[in-house]
Each structure stands twice: as C-alpha cells, then as structure tokens.
C-alpha cells in the first residue's frame, strides 16, 4: 500500500505523497519559519499535489497567510492550553476545494450538534465487555481489526510493526475486550510538548456496532489523557460519518471547522470535521 512519506525539515515534521495527494505539515517548529512554508509549496509543485495542509500555532499564521493559505479550522488552547491551533490550507488544484456532497455533510453536522447533551453524562458498556489499554501482544489482533474495517487509511495501522512502534513512542491504544478478544479500537496520539492529543483510529467490528462502544472508548481515553496532563483533546473525523460525529458531540466536543477533501480513507479522499474539547 503506497503510504505517504515522512520527512523532517529542521525540527518540523512533514508528510507528503500521492496517497492523500497533499503535503501535510504535521508539526511546525518556529525556528524553521518562514523557509518551511516555501519548502512545502515547492514539494507540492514538484510532485503535482493538489493540497497543502498545515497545523500551526496562531502566532505563526502570518507566514502562511502571506503565502496565500487560509484557515479551515481552529482549536482554542490547542498548544499547552494557552495558544490556539489553526488548520490552514492552500489548494493548488481548484477541483480539490469543491465539496461534492456538501448538503449531506451539513446534514450530518446538524444532526451531531443536535445530540449535544444539556449536562455531561457517563456511558457504560455491557457487563461482558471492558475497556483495556492495548499492549504489544495485542498488535496482531489490532491489525486484523483495522484491515477488516478500513480498506485504506492515511497511516499504516494495518501493519503490526507500525502499531508496536507508535505504541512505544507517542500513541496510547485502547480496546473494548469481550471474552478475551478485541472487538473495538481507538487511539490517542499525544503531543506532550503541546499538551494536546488527537483522539483517532476508531474501529468497531461490524457485528459489534450499535452498542455505543466508541463513546465508552472515548470516555476512557479522556480520563487517561487527563492523568497524563494533556489539556486539549481533538479529532479529525470523517465528515460523512454520522456515528463518529455524534459520538464526539455527545461527549461535549465542539465543532472547529471542515477540512475539505483532506484525507485518504476507505478508498477515497474525504472531507473531515475537526472537533475539540478542553480536558
């Protein structure tokens, strides 16, 4: 599977490739400004990518605005609970910024926002299930679940070696276990320096859907991140997925914006919704 490439420019991390047909500035170090902005543009032009996507502190946004970027989403207090984070973009192919299913995406968002609770509530699993933290011995089971749920994905979560490597580095994986078997998964990808975590990689086996397992996973993930001192949780969720958007709305997340035709997932490039919550 032709996953996109990771590269470091100074202390900044970049992902790029034809898989998602974009350059993604995943982690910006201000010491690399303004050169990194020019670099990602040159990368996109050289390879013919259609979109530039950057996750940046608000204080660094001027260098991006000056090069024709615009804000697609924002998360208050994204960095250390103090500075807003902006998801900025620039389209090099005008067809990439056309939202073909705009009415449907608006309907999904409206439905999710209608599910916001008046007050926080706790969600519980059936008695024969429990949320556990995943360990290296689980990676083969995990990869099989991800292969069953996602025909394609922006990161190689189908690969047990990738799961074990990220588990040792900056990702906590969680699972719903039933009778000794994993039936649903999720992960929290942590930026300890920025004190934020992306709540992501949700997958439930088809025969176990409809039981609110993602809500229970997210609830446990929040508690775990809080214990680690993470201040802001966020997600980049498929905008067409009513279930995932409702899950985050029900747990009190707020909508941050739409990332248009942003991510290769399940066989096509999809638009994504950003949701966030202060922990």
Q: Can you say how many angstroms the Cα of residue 88 is from the centroid of all Cα atoms in its chain? A: 15
Asked if 75 and 210 sit in the same domain, the reply is no
| Residue that finishes a domain, picked among 97, 114, 147 | 97
pLDDT tens digits, residue range 25-64? 999 999 999 999 999 999 999 999 999 999 999 999 999 9
d(CA 121, CA 145): 29
Instruction: Take residue 71 and report the two structure tokens written for it.
Output: 């804000």
Structural domain that includes position 66:
5-97
CATH no. for residue 109?
3.40.630.30
> What is the number of other CB atoms lying within 10 angstroms of the CB of residue 28?
24
Asked if 269 and 152 sit in the same domain, the reply is yes
Asked if 113 and 62 sit in the same domain, the reply is no
**Pairing label, strands 51-57, 22-27:** parallel
Asked if 36 and 156 sit in the same domain, the reply is no
* pLDDT score at 151: 85
Asked if 117 and 205 sit in the same domain, the reply is yes
* pLDDT score at 154: 83
Asked if 128 and 22 sit in the same domain, the reply is no
Asked if 65 and 170 sit in the same domain, the reply is no
* pLDDT score at 120: 78
Band (pLDDT 50/70/90 cuts) for residue 155 is: confident
Beta-sheet strands, E only, within the chain: 5-9, 12-17, 22-27, 51-57, 70-79, 83-91, 129-133, 171-178, 181-191, 196-204, 232-238, 254-265, 268-278
* pLDDT score at 76: 97
Please spell the DSSP secondary structure of 136-149, one letter per residue.
GGGHHHHHHHHHHH
pLDDT tens digits, residue range 78-127? 999 999 999 999 999 999 999 989 999 999 999 999 998 888 788 999 99
| Residue that finishes a domain, picked among 65, 97, 129 | 97
Asked if 142 and 126 sit in the same domain, the reply is yes
d(CA 52, CA 59): 19
Of the chain, the percentage scoring pLDDT greater than 70 comes to 99
* pLDDT score at 2: 62
pTM of the model: 0.95
Asked if 135 and 194 sit in the same domain, the reply is yes
pLDDT tens digits, residue range 82-96? 999 999 999 999 999
| Residue that finishes a domain, picked among 38, 73, 97 | 97
pLDDT tens digits, residue range 157-215? 999 999 999 999 999 999 999 999 999 999 999 999 999 999 999 999 999 999 999 99
Domain count, the chain: 2
Q: Is the pLDDT of residue 249 over 70?
A: yes
d(CA 167, CA 161): 10
d(CA 202, CA 51): 25
* pLDDT score at 117: 86
Asked if 24 and 47 sit in the same domain, the reply is yes
Asked if 249 and 271 sit in the same domain, the reply is yes
d(CA 149, CA 52): 28
Q: Is the pLDDT of residue 244 over 80?
A: yes
Asked if 264 and 136 sit in the same domain, the reply is yes
SS3 content of the chain, % helix, strand, coil (to 5): 35, 40, 30
Please give the average per-residue pLDDT across 11-15, as a whole number.
95
Band (pLDDT 50/70/90 cuts) for residue 152 is: confident
pLDDT tens digits, residue range 213-239? 999 999 999 999 999 999 999 999 999
* pLDDT score at 70: 98
pLDDT tens digits, residue range 129-145? 999 999 999 999 999 99
d(CA 156, CA 143): 9
């Amino acid at each position: 599977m032709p996953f996109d490439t990771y590269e470091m420019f100074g202390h900044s991390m970049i992902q790029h490739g034809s898989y998602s047909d974009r350059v993604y500035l995943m982690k910006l170090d201000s010491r690399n400004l303004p050169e990194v902005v020019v670099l990602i543009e040159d990368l996109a032009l050289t390879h013919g990518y259609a979109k530039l996507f950057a996750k940046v502190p608000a204080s660094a946004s001027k260098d991006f605005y000056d090069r024709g970027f615009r804000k697609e989403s924002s998360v208050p207090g994204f960095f250390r609970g103090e500075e807003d984070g902006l998801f900025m973009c620039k389209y090099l192919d005008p067809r990439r910024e056309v939202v073909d299913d705009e009415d449907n995406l608006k309907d999904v968002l409206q439905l999710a926002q209608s599910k916001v609770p008046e007050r926080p509530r706790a969600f519980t699993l059936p008695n024969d299930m429990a949320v556990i933290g995943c360990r290296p011995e689980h990676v083969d089971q995990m990869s099989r679940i991800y292969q069953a749920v996602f025909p394609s994905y922006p990161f190689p979560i189908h690969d047990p070696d990738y799961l074990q490597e990220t588990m040792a580095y900056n990702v906590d994986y969680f699972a719903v276990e039933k009778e000794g078997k994993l039936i649903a998964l999720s992960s929290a990808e942590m930026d300890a320096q920025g004190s934020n975590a992306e709540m992501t990689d949700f997958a439930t086996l088809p025969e176990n859907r409809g039981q609110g397992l993602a809500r229970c996973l997210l609830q446990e993930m929040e508690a775990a991140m809080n214990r680690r001192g993470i201040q802001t949780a966020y997600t980049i969720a498929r905008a067409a997925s009513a279930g995932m958007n409702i899950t985050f709305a029900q747990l009190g997340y707020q909508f941050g914006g739409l990332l248009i035709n942003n991510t290769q997932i399940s066989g096509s490039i999809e638009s994504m919704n950003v949701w966030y919550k202060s922990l």
